Each structure stands twice: as C-alpha cells, then as structure tokens.
Amino acid sequence: MANVEHGATVARTEAPGGAEHEATALGFGPGGWVAIAMLLVFALAIWKKVPSAIGKALDKKIAAIRDQLDEAKALREEAEELKREYQVKAADADNQAAAMIERAKGEAERIVAKAEEDAKALVERRKAMAEAKIAAEERAAIDELRATAARAATAAAAKLIAERNDAAMDKALVDEAIAGLGKA
C-alpha cells in the first residue's frame, strides 16, 4: 500500500502482526540518510576550508569596519578641532566687534568734543568780529561827529570872524601871516 506524505511517495509494507514498516536503504532510514548527508556536507565544508574562508571574510569585514570607525573617529576629531577653531574665531570676532564699537564711541565723543570746541571758537571769532565792527562803527561815528563839529565850529568861527573883522583887519592879518612866513 502506498502512502502520500509531504508530496512524496513512500512505500510502506506491513509487517507480520499488522504493524507498518518503513523502507530502508543499506540499513538506514530516512532520518539516518539525512544525518549522513549533513555529515558529508560538514565534512566537505571543513575539507574545503569553508569555516576559515568565512572567518577570513568576517575578519576582512571586521577590519573594514574598524577602518571605517577609525576614519569616523579621525573625522570627528577633525570636526571638533574645526569647531574649536571657529569658536575661537567667533570669540575673536566678538572681541574685535566690541573693540570697534568702543573705538567708534571714543571717536564719536572726540568728534562731538571737537565740534563743541569749533562751535565755541566760531562763536568767539564772530563775537570778536562783531565787537570789532561795533568799535569801528563807533570810531567812524565819533570821527564823523568830530568832523561835523569841526565844520560847524569852522563855519561858526568864520561867521564870527566875518562879523567882527572888516577888510582892513583882513589885510593886517594877511600881512602878518606873510611876514611870519618870511621869518621861518
């Protein structure tokens, strides 16, 4: 009688007494043949040095991973060094910016102080110019007043002399003036 198990046909025979009996080959049942096949595969793998090849492949993979880790470590150290450099540069730039601001404030204060000095000097110069102009105007006014007074006095004296002097007295004065010129 044939029995179908797992898609394979297995011939089964009934032993005397009604029990089923499996077929064997060379005294090994299916489990024995599987064990023998596994032993042969393992023996062949060992004979062909598969475990050492697998070990070598794994060692190469481990070495490659170590190299990658070393490279990553070196890159990380380089990145940290660059980070430190840029932090130092940033701090230096902040310090320079602060110094520039301080210099600019100082320069602005100096400019304001100079502008105040210049404004005071300008005011003083203009004040002096105005005072000089006022003094010049006063002198001119006084000179004009003196000239006007002199003209008025001259005119008044001429009028008085004309009223008090006659032609004879004029002749005597002229003669006296001419005589005074001859002595000199």
Query: pTM for this structure?
Result: 0.36
Mean pLDDT of the chain: 84
Q: What domain range includes position 105? A: 49-131
State whether 43 and 102 are in the same domain: no
Q: Report if residue 144 sits inside a domain.
A: no
- Whether the CA torsion 6, 10, 15, 17 is positive or negative: it is positive
State whether 110 and 38 are in the same domain: no
Band (pLDDT 50/70/90 cuts) for residue 137 is: very high
State whether 28 and 89 are in the same domain: no
Question: Is 112's pLDDT higher than 50?
Answer: yes
Q: Report if residue 164 sits inside a domain.
A: no
Is residue 85 within 8 Å of residue 91, measured between CB atoms? no
Looking at per-residue pLDDT, the higher value among 184 and 151 belongs to 151
Residue 131 pLDDT: 92
State whether 79 and 125 are in the same domain: yes
State whether 61 and 118 are in the same domain: yes
DSSP-derived pairing of the beta strands 8-14 and 20-22: antiparallel
State whether 120 and 102 are in the same domain: yes
- DSSP states along 32-98: HHHHHHHHHHHHHHHHTTHHHHHHHHHHHHHHHHHHHHHHHHHHHHHHHHHHHHHHHHHHHHHHHHH
Residue 4 phi/psi, 5-degree rounding, is -105, 120
State whether 86 and 112 are in the same domain: yes
The total domain count for the chain is 2
Residue 9 pLDDT: 45
